[in-house]
Structures are given as structure tokens and as C-alpha cells.
Structure 1
Amino acid sequence: MDLLDDYLAGVRARGALFCRSVAEPPWALRFNSPAPLALGAMLRGTAWIIPDAGEPTRIGEGDIALVRGPRPFTAADRLDSPVQVVIDGPEACWATAEGPESAGNNFQLGPRTYGLDASGSDLFVTAEYLMQGDVCDRLLVSLPELLVVRSEPEMEPLLDLLSSEVVREEPGQQVVLDRLLDLLLVRVVRSWFARPEAEPPAGYRALEDPHIARALRALHEQPARPWTVAALAAEAGLSRAVFARRFADLVGEPPLGYLTGWRMALASDLLRESGASVASVARRVGYSDGFAFSNAFKRVRGESPSTFAAR
């Protein structure tokens, strides 16, 4: 496991909402209530992604956009094209000419396919991810509200598979589509974080250092272990002083500070589980008793674990 594995562990697509839009210019799709993370792939033609807050971005054939919700956005062939279709959550879609009363019926061309003309020249596929929890939030907050990864040769086979699979209505189709989306999301995020202007989560770029990477992987794989700086330095194969200095330089905070933050993110997600107790969560994230855990949680999160769980 590494940092990206952990951040994406809660993002596995399960029954992801797809919209395959076939259109002839001028066209525009309005996404009123996007999920925390939406992926859009331009399979044919060109378009603009127009967030309600922020600058529009043009995407071309083979480009993939990630839009961080929940703010609405519009996808259109031109900046001034009037909205023709409104997508308002998983069950409500309608053409603006006929209004919400026609939701889901008046422009459906087939399973997961929508448009006003099945022979349209432009083809745009979107999928929405439901992301919940503090671990996922560590990934979300590191992404801009809109990012675009331009067409890359490695993405083409995945997009080809997505294009062919989304039009089928065969047993197991949803599982195949979900796994394709998982692959696309990992590749897009990895490609984005490789850019100099990106701001990946704490520790992500530190994985390029083999010594610090070993310590980070150990922390993520065994968060409940009673780690000390000396033990982490031994894991990294460095002296204690060199390790502490290099870790802080590359990750942006001291080793034990990073460990505490990671434990509290895991604890926040565990506290959301039905039947979770403060004592059981404390043990799972490395605290011998609920009192010590509660103090640490309140110091980091500003409220007690029991208050957080009740809220």
C-alpha cells in the first residue's frame, strides 16, 4: 500500500452514475448537483467545461476532466451555447424545453445514453464518484475544482474500452464500468500530481525518496504500531537526525506529527461506522486507552470523539 492507495481506498466506484451524451452542436449539459468528484471524458469532438465559479476550460478528443463538487458546472460545445439538458442528481434529467416534469424520459436514447439525436457528432461521457470520509478528503482538498489531463497514449485503451462498454446492456456491465472508472481515476490523479503546478497531499512527492518512502509506507500499513522517530529511522535506513530532518523537509511536518494526523483521519472514518466505540477505535489507531485517544482527537479535530460520532 502507498499513500494514493489509501486515499483512493474509499473511492471505489460502486454503481457509478453514467451519462453518455450524444449531441450535434450547439449543445450544453447542465450538472446541477454533481457528486464530490465527477469525471468527464471527451470521446469525440471538443467541448468546454464551465464551472459556476472559476474559468472555463476547453477539452479536446481524448482529454479527461475532473470536477470537484458540489458546485454546479456546465459542459458545452461553445461558451455561449444554451443549456439543452439538465442533470440534477442520479434520478432527474430533463430537456430544458420541456422542463423537470419530463425527467429521465424525453431524451433517453438507450441505457445510460442521452441526447437529442443519436447520430450527433460529439460524444461526452461523465461519471460521478461518491466520496465520503476524512481519508478521501485528504485527496479531494489537494485537487483544484477543475483539472484537465490532456490526451495521453496510455489512456487511449481505457477510453476505447469505456466507449464500447457503456453502450452495452449485458450481464456484469456495471461492474466492468466501475472498474474502468477506478483505473481512469488513478491514472488521471497520478498524471496530475506529476505536474509541477499540482499540490499533492502531504507526503506524496516524498515517495520519490526511497528512504522516506519506506517509512511512509510503514506508517500507512501499520498505523497502530507504537512508532518512535528512532523506529521510523531504522525502517528508512537512516540515522535518527538525518531521517527527522529529511522527513520534515520532504513531507512538510515532523514524522510523529504526520502519524498523528493520519491516525485521526482514519479514526474519523472509523467513528462513522455503526456500533463503533471510542475505545475500539482508539485501539485500532494505536492508542492504549480511550482517554489518551480522546485527548489527541480533541487537540487535532477541536471536539471529542464521542461528540464527533454523535454529530
Structure 2
Amino acid sequence: MDVLSDVVAVTRTGRPRSAHVRWHAPWGQEFASVPGSAGFQVILQGSCWLLPPDAEPVRLLAGDVVFLPHGSGHTLADSPERLMTTPACGLDDHELYDAYASATVDRSGDRGPVTVVLCGAYQLDPSRTHPLLLTLPDLIHLSAHSDRRPALRSAVELLAAELETPRLGTDAVIPALLDTLLLYMLRIWFDEQPARGDTTGWAAALNDPPVTGALHAIHRDPAAPWTVAKLAAEAGLSRARFARRFAMLVGQPPLGYLTWWRMTTAARLLRTTDAPLRSIAAQVGYTSEFALAHAFKRTHGTAPGAYRRNT
């Protein structure tokens, strides 16, 4: 798998929680901060305003997508004045997320202009959050109408069509489309970060072909007997130059990241499969279950067997 697909597969848990809500002005809705989640808002019809934490209000139009990677609290309303002067009203959190995406919740208001929003959250596991996600800003605002984002626009249109006219299979299609939406949001954000020679961090790493080549090699085959020299060959750089470049962009040495990813993969296998420890050790590059157990306990603070029993 590639890096971004692996990051989502490891970090996200459960099904996306979402609601298809139709609001009639005047309206306002508070969304509480939810640690261990990533929130999203997709404006399917009409327009509204978003008040993020500690920032100016943002105008949202039909087709816009807002992603809150760290589950930050925020408010949506039909006008900026209502954001500031009127206590938000509408759905409480339980009512909001208990309504699954294929069911529409209609909030009557005064029968003013209509805004239709798909709002929801992805559940994340804080214990295995990839550092890539930790570097994201609190709020990412993407316009689906940008000519540079046809895939995002298509995903939004497909979601809107399924929600407006549910059919056989809709309950399976919508979670798949929401996963697609998550990957598109992340892909667009990292693709569109400016490339500068002094930039560091995961946005720069994923836009650096040599480092990305080494990362893909690690994620494609974590069990391979990787050395810095072999990863440098994947990157097409000398050993010394590769090691400096990788550490500068990723934030840790190549073999440090390799070990972290192996232990993260082992934890996922322990949690989601019944595979014996010997098999898991082979899948993540350890010659015996004892070698894996030693490395796992050093990283996670508990033995593999205890980890499996307690998750």
C-alpha cells in the first residue's frame, strides 16, 4: 500500500458517523470538540457560515468541503450575525450522529432559504495516530468547484445523489464514498502545499520524490531487511544525503520510522486478526516471536499478548 492509504487504514476505526441535515433559515448549530475524531462538513445545497475556533468566520457555498482533522469545535449558521449574537440551536450531538447519512433530518426554522449539509466525523484511534495527521491544521477548507479538484467534486456529487435518492445498496455505498472523501481531502491538501527548499514536515516529504520513494518502499514491504543503504537506493540518493534528507523532512531517521511503522502494523494485526505471534513477526520483519515481543514491549509498553487481550 502507499503511505496515505496506510495512514488512513491504521488510524481510522469504525464507520464514519454522519447526518444529512436540511436547515431553513434562521438557524445555527454548534458542533462540540470531539477528541479522537476528525470532523467534516459538506455543503450540498445553499450556503452558510462557519465559525472555527479562534479565527474569522468562513463563507461556505454549495460544493464546499470543510475538514477538521483534530475534531475541533465549531459553529455553522445561516448568517455571520447569528454566529456572533444568537446562541446556536438545533440538533444535539446524539440526535445528529444517531441519524445515519442516508436519513435526512429536517429542521424547520422559519421556512427561510434552505441549506443542506452532510456533517459528520471519522473515528480515530489516538494511540496509533500517524505523525502525518498531527501536522495538519485545525481546519482545511476545500472548494469542490475548483477546476483543479474534479475528483473531489465527483465524490461530493455522488454523495449528494445517494442521499437525495436512496436505493438498494445505499447503506453500503455511503460509507465507501465517505472513505473516498477522506482520502481526497488529504490528497488535495498535501498535493497543494507549496514546494519550497526550506520546507520541512510531512507535506514536504510527500512532495519530495526521493523521500516518498523510500516511504512507499517501507509501506509496501515492511518485512524486507531494509537498511539505510537499501532505502537510499530506492530514493536514488547517496546513503549520507538520503539519511539527512529523510530525517529533515519526516522528523526521524529512516530506521527509526521503519521500526515505528513495523510496531504500528504489528499492533493492527494483533487487534484485527487471530494470526499467531510467529506469523505477525514474519509480516513485520522479525525473525522470531521473541524478537518481536521485545521490540513491541519497548514501543508500546506492554507485551503483544497483553495488548491483544486488552484491545
TM-score (normalised: structure 1): 0.78
Superposition pairs for residues 290-309 of structure 1, below 5 Å? 290-309=289-308
**1:94-105 to 2 correspondence within 5 Å?**
none
Does 1:179 find its partner at 2:176?
A: yes
Q: Equivalents in 2 of 1:15, 1:233: separation in Å?
A: 38
* Structure 1 residues 11 and 116: CA distance shift in structure 2, 3 A: farther
Q: Using the alignment, how far apart are the partners of 1:13 and 1:239 within structure 2?
A: 39
CA distance in structure 2 between the aligned counterparts of 1:63 and 1:112, rounded to whole angstroms: 19
Cα pair distance change 1:157/1:212, threshold 3 Å: closer
User: What SS class does the counterpart of residue 296 from structure 2 fall into?
Assistant: helix
2:106 to 97, 111, 114: 114
Structure 2 contact 132–202 (Cα < 8 Å) conserved: no
Does the 8 A contact of 1:31 with 1:86 survive in 2?
Answer: no
Is 1:85 the counterpart of 2:90? The answer is yes
Distance 2:186 2:218 in 1: 22
2:248 aligned partner:
249
Of 243-252 and 131-140, deviating more is 131-140
2:167 maps to 170
> Contact 1:38 / 1:129 at 8 angstroms: preserved in 2?
yes
- 2:142 matched to which residue of 1? 149
Amino acid at match of 2:270: L
Aligned positions of 1:268-283 closer than 5 A: 268-273=267-272, 275-283=274-282
Identify which of 151, 156, 160 aligns with 1:159: 156
Tell me the SS of whatever aligns to 2:159. helix
Deviation at 1:14, TM superposition (A): 7.7
Tell me the number of residue pairs that the alignment of Structure 1 and Structure 2 aligns.
294
Task: Please state how far the C-alpha of 1:281 moved relative to its aligned partner.
Answer: 2.6
CA 283–206 in structure 1, closer or farther in 2 if over 3 Å, else same: same
SS of the residue corresponding to residue 130 of structure 1 reads strand
Conservation of the 8 A alpha-carbon contact between 1:7 and 1:138 = no
Q: TM-score, normalised by structure 2?
A: 0.78
The one-character-per-residue Cα deviations of 1:258-311 (angstroms, maximum 9, x if unpaired) are: 101111111222222353544433222111123322332233333433343343
| Residue 3 (structure 2) aligns with | 3
SS where residue 279 of structure 2 aligns?
Answer: helix
Aligned partner letter, 1:6? D
Counterpart Cα distance in 2 of 1:68 and 1:207:
18
SS in structure 1 opposite 2:213?
helix
* Residues 265 and 10 of structure 1: CA distance in aligned 2, closer, same or farther (over 3 Å): closer
Whether the aligned pair in 2 keeps the contact of 1:224 and 1:285 (CA below 8 Å) is yes
Contact map agreement 1:18 1:112 (CA 8 A) in 2 = no
Q: Please name the residue that 2:120 is paired with.
A: 127
CA change 1:296–1:264 in 2 (3 A) is same
Gaps of 5+ in 1: 95-102
Question: Whose helix fraction is larger, Structure 1's or Structure 2's?
Answer: 2
Contact residue 219 and residue 259 of structure 1 kept, 8 A:
yes
Contact 1:211 1:238 in 2 (8 A): yes
Instruction: Please report how far the alpha carbon of residue 230 of structure 1 lies from its aligned counterpart in structure 2 after TM superposition.
Output: 2.0
Secondary structure in 1 aligned to 2:124?
A: coil
- Checking the alignment, whether the CA contact within 8 Å between 1:12 and 1:182 is kept in structure 2 is no
Report the more deviating stretch, 222-231 or 34-43: 34-43
Match of 2:193 in 1: 195
Cα deviation per residue 1:229-274 (whole Å; 9 max; x = unaligned)? 2222233333322322332233232211110111111122222235
